[in-house]
Structure 1
Amino acid sequence: MTATAPETAAMSRALELALRGPRAGVNPQVGCVLLDPDGRVLAEGWHRGAGTAHAEVDALSRLADPAAAAGATAVVTLEPCNHHGRTGPCSEALIAAGVSRVLYAVPDPGVASAGGGERMRAAGLDVESGLLRDEAEEAIRPWLTALRLGRPFVTVKWASSLDGRAAAADGSSRWITGPAARDDVHRRRGEHDAIVVGTGTVLADDPALTARSGDGLLEHQPIPVVIGTTPVPVDAAVRHHPHPLRVHATHDLGAVLASLFDDGVRSVFVEGGPTLASAFLRAGLVDEVVAYLAPTLLGGPITALGDLDVSTIDEQRRLRFTSVDLVGDDVRLVARPLASDTDPSARDGRTSPATISTSSGVTAATDSTTTTKEL
């Protein structure tokens, strides 16, 4: 595509603005910069969450003179929407304002919301896509992945000793990592729509499943989700969560994710111990792994992961590191599976067969995830 230096700089700025919006939620983070014909910035905007003005409308509303939009260029991180939700179509707002040129980074993957580019072209606007697309894809990767796969973006987290143990031989695990790593986990919880554990974790640890800081609860709280057939005790800490507890009395992970997606959940943080983490990984339902490695040794049988259906080195589950950082005294490793983010056949639990090892050692192959293990 063709873009001027001011337009490229405006897209970089729009990406910065987009990240000011909430990471969690059904809507994407979007930023917009309006330029005059000489490339000077007229106004900026970003989306502040469901029910608020979209980035394009926010930017238009900040013009000192609304007439200045005539002949302007709109630089937007995501294709302007083309549907009526809580707000009207941004494509029509830009057309009505008199904008003459629109550049966006990433096409909207939404079935209902896509088509804004074509709508604006049909109205005579000069529309181009792809400016800083790689950077924009990375910025809103969880939301894009969820829309493309039709299920929430899945982050699996664990903490382990240097020798890969999730707990000591007696099952005790508090605390393997230090306070800085635990604070980092709470921040990441607050960036997801839901936090998922199994009933085994609820019974063993009685977690609150909240996102906290030293000052108390964070503003955004993930929805607590428990998977498994064992009843959650009536006095469990998770029942006092700010959001109602969701219990899925099943081991069908694909069905759980489908239900959550249908209810507007676009990202989940899986923090349920070795059994649940391994089940998600075996099923190919993981988009990102966040592992905290503590400088300590435990030995013993309780490893951070269980069986992954890897019987030979050729079947190993390869990942790619995206960051390696010191967090206090611990190391935080963030990695992604090598399968394409946009290939539903690679990780979509609704359509891809998944095999799960049962407690008897027999392998069950189904259209989604089933197991007799207690999660």
Structure 2
Amino acid sequence: MAANGTPHPLDVHILPQPNYIDAVRWIPPLSPFHRLIAAAAFDSDTTTSTFQIHSLTVTQPNSPPTLTLQYSHPTPSRISSLKVCHHNKPLVAASTAVGSLHFLVTDPVRGRVESELSLPEGELHAGPISCVDLAESGSECVTVGEDGKVNLVCVDGGSERLSYRRVFDGNGLVGYTAAKWASPTEFATGGLGFGLQWWDLRKPGGPASQFKANWTRATTSGIVHSIDIHPSRKHTCVAGGSSGTVFAWDLRWQQQPIILSGVETGEVSAYSPCESEVWEVQYDNYMHSKNIGNMSSSRILPVMICSEDGILAVVEQGEEPIELLAEPCAINSFDIDRQNPSVRCHMQSGVGIHSHFVEAVVSCSDMNSIIFWDPINVFFLSMSLSLCTMRG
């Protein structure tokens, strides 16, 4: 199988998994030959949810990897958001559909959870927690919900208790569905109407800046599902949401969005790889841009996306999208391994995938699989696990 627009064909191998995988995240590795993956699993037969740690082992360069369940930890309900901090000892933050929040300190040697701190349902939000994000230091976590609340949770490694403060309460008049840290004191949120908000903890009382999607009436009813901010360009947010829409918001030109995919002026853009919900976006730091040699600071870097209609692709400003994978089910999430610049992973109901330059993990909805790939290998994990090997 060849990815549309990529120079290498892909071989796909499927390894079945027993549960749906709602989200996947890489856990920082101690060895390039022994990788750990955090997964949010859901058993539809028993309606039980678990946080899982899987061990991914590649014994031969051209042979399928083995995925072994190392640890399983029950959660009160289905996991709504899963994030991993790569600072010091790996810390996992998992929020649930009933509104509880769990912090899990993992042991990267044994592949187990060493300790857990949690806040019960109803403590932070009136209903589900839509999204959480851990600061780079791992000491703070931002949570947002459709109830309009924005919270900052302090994670003190030396304490057995969690503390939090409410940054903002919209009293149900607004709702937030995505969040992403930009710096130790700044983060972005997104929600209904393709709106984005920029928060500065040094300026309390509300967002320091807001972007309202008024470039076309046809898209203002959309929802932002995911936000990413490049570590070297914190002034630019990229967001993915309804109708295959992916756009960037540059704080220097706050009311002028940069459309990368989706609906523009009421019509579907020629550069749209999908037409359904975009569930996750991440800057593809290792994808080679055609214009990388003369790329200015105002040009948007390549972005990897996954969608409800089963598309995993890379979109770039002014370029045709590169379709990496097309599946018959939704791709829920993916993750790019920042510590291994040759692999990516994504999820379709449990899929992990990585591109030909970065390692990633992905999840798919109805396949129950996880996908991964690197310059040599690509894998994915759902209710089945798929391995894609790039030949070339």
Q: TM-score range with shorter-chain normalisation?
A: under 0.3
User: Which is richer in strand?
Assistant: 2
TM-score relative to the length of structure 2: 0.23
User: Which protein is bigger by CA-based radius of gyration?
Assistant: 1
TM-score, normalized by length of structure 1?
0.24
